[in-house]
A = this chain, B = another copy of it.
Amino acid sequence: MEQTPARSESHPASTRLDSYVDRYAARTAGMTASEIRALFAVASRPEVVSLAGGMPNISGLPLDLVGSVISDLVADHGTTALQYGSGQGDPVLREQICDVMRLEGIEAHPDDVVVTVGSQQAVDLVTRIFCDPGDVVLCEAPSYVGALGVFKSFQADVVHVEMDADGLVPEALRQAITAVKAAGKTIKFLYTIPNFHNPAGVTLTAERRPEILAICREHDILVLEDNPYGLLGFEGEPMRALRADEAEGVIYLGSFSKTFSPGIRVGWALAPHAVREKLVLAQESATLCPPSFSQMAVSAYLTAHDWQGQIKQMREMYRERRDAMMQALDDFMPAACSWNTPDGGFFVWVTLPPGIDAKAMLPRAVTARVAYVPGTAFFADGYGSSSMRLSFCFPTPERIREGVRRLAGVLDDEMELRATFGAGAPVHGLEARSGYDAPSTDLS
């Protein structure tokens, strides 16, 4: 299917399939479909339990209310909702976005908010305005596959920074900055997901937050705080955002994809004023304006519905699924595996016994009717082969349990195989540094 440069070189015949192969921009070499993409098409069959995707479960939404709110919107304000809007986004929605961010301690002005086509587009626009080829973006290790794809497509170099159970490790951040500077490279920003990390499932502790901010301030490094899951914590109040304590040095990204609807594609960036101006110009170039219709639909929903109550229901639903996954992991997984217990969000990060390659094992897992995302997808440098991301957001608790049971069976077989054939059994890609395998768009 895909036309990666590597394939074209090794199979000259395949270049005939793409007569444009020599004409693409250099950045397009960074846009390649994953080898495991085809597998995910199989994994979307109903008999397969997918622990792979990051799709929110939106079955609890009040669809009748949403439909009626939108119908009224079109009837009463259709010539506005269906017309071009501002490149920066709907002013009323930007005020409501400030209300949402206030839950995380952020005091912001609507004029500093830019609405985007999902927060994915915000990552894209920020990278577009900041990154020349060869610039460095610091990312957690592992990091969100969709952001890595953007950085790669703008030919930025990703440098991963170690995380532990408390999130990004300050000392590792210092070391990375020193090393990048010593190499004569320019760091454009730190991309971080402080809450309920995708894929690692961990949260940056309150204690570490000021330290991370201080390091970035000291080295004049912009922070790109990506926070799609911040309101989906399972205990207590939302964490205070990094942006709440640092207005000039942080671009904050938010989204309605996980708290309302991903298909409506409304996210946002809150940025220092001058950066906001550039983002609006970039948005105008990219789309003229984000969809008025979607924005006004979100705005009407927020006005008409107890959206905070809805989020509370979502949190409870996801907590139940997290619990089902934890229980199943405890009950079924081989003792040599380890994982964390996420306090919110959608994901658990599982580390496999030494020598087990999650990517090589994936076809056998799909055959056993369970899917996951191999850890390599979340590294720009080929690491992560002995890890996997499991999602508990979309399948029911029963299906999660069944999926983990199947996965544990595949792992048992794999470990038995290795025990029988010893270290001579092939280890695929353990040390490969050939780039990451983006599994389609991380949606399914």
| Residue A292 CB within 8 A of the other chain | yes
Interface residues of A in 250-297 (CB under 8 A from B): 257, 260-265, 272-275, 277-278, 281-282, 284-294, 297
CB pair A121 B286 closer than 8 Å = yes
Across-interface contacts of A118 in B (CB, < 8 A): 287-288
| Residue A13 CB within 8 A of the other chain | no
* Partner among B28, B87, B274 whose Cβ is within 8 Å of the Cβ of A19: B274
| Residue A10 CB within 8 A of the other chain | no
| Residue A153 CB within 8 A of the other chain | yes
Q: With A and B bound together, what is the CA distance between A97 and B118 in angstroms?
A: 24
* A1-26 to B contact mask, C-beta < 8 Å, 1/0: 11100000000000001111101111
CB pair A78 B67 closer than 8 Å = yes
Across-interface contacts of A121 in B (CB, < 8 A): 286-287
CB distance from A423 to the nearest CB of B (A): 38
Q: Which of A32, A274, A292 has the most CB of B within 10 A?
A: A274
| Residue A222 CB within 8 A of the other chain | yes
Across-interface contacts of A17 in B (CB, < 8 A): 273-274
Q: With A and B bound together, what is the CA distance between A63 and B28 in angstroms?
A: 42
| Residue A355 CB within 8 A of the other chain | no
Across-interface contacts of A149 in B (CB, < 8 A): 284-285
Which of A129-137, A346-354, A372-380 interfaces with chain B? A129-137
* Partner among B19, B24, B263 whose Cβ is within 8 Å of the Cβ of A292: B263
CB distance from A92 to the nearest CB of B (A): 14
| Residue A58 CB within 8 A of the other chain | yes
CB pair B281 A33 closer than 8 Å = yes
Across-interface contacts of A292 in B (CB, < 8 A): 263-265
| Residue A74 CB within 8 A of the other chain | yes
Q: With A and B bound together, what is the CA distance between A278 and B281 in angstroms?
A: 25
The answer to whether A293 and B261 touch (CB under 8 A), given A33-B281, A287-B118, A288-B146, is yes
* Partner among B21, B23, B27, B288 whose Cβ is within 8 Å of the Cβ of A120: B288
| Residue A241 CB within 8 A of the other chain | no
| Residue A81 CB within 8 A of the other chain | yes
* A83-114 to B contact mask, C-beta < 8 Å, 1/0: 11101000000000000000000000000000
* Partner among B131, B275, B440 whose Cβ is within 8 Å of the Cβ of A87: B440
Interface extent on A, as a size class? 35 or more
| Residue A52 CB within 8 A of the other chain | no
CB pair A82 B293 closer than 8 Å = no
CB distance from A283 to the nearest CB of B (A): 9
CB pair A83 B132 closer than 8 Å = no
CB distance from A39 to the nearest CB of B (A): 17
* A287-322 to B contact mask, C-beta < 8 Å, 1/0: 111111110010000000000000000000000000
| Residue A243 CB within 8 A of the other chain | no
CB pair B124 A82 closer than 8 Å = no
Across-interface contacts of A261 in B (CB, < 8 A): 82-83, 293
A24 closest partner in B (C-beta) = B129
Across chains A and B, which 9 residue pairs bring their CB atoms closest together, nearest first? A18-B274, A67-B74, A263-B292, A71-B71, A82-B261, A63-B78, A265-B291, A31-B281, A67-B71
Known: A61-B82, A63-B74. 14 other contacts (CB 8 A): A3-B277, A20-B222, A28-B278, A58-B78, A63-B78, A63-B79, A66-B74, A83-B263, A117-B290, A149-B284, A153-B282, A261-B293, A264-B293, A265-B294
A-B contact pairs, 19 of them (CB 8 A): A1-B277, A20-B275, A21-B274, A24-B130, A25-B132, A27-B128, A28-B278, A33-B277, A58-B78, A70-B74, A80-B263, A82-B262, A83-B261, A261-B293, A265-B290, A265-B294, A284-B441, A288-B442, A289-B441
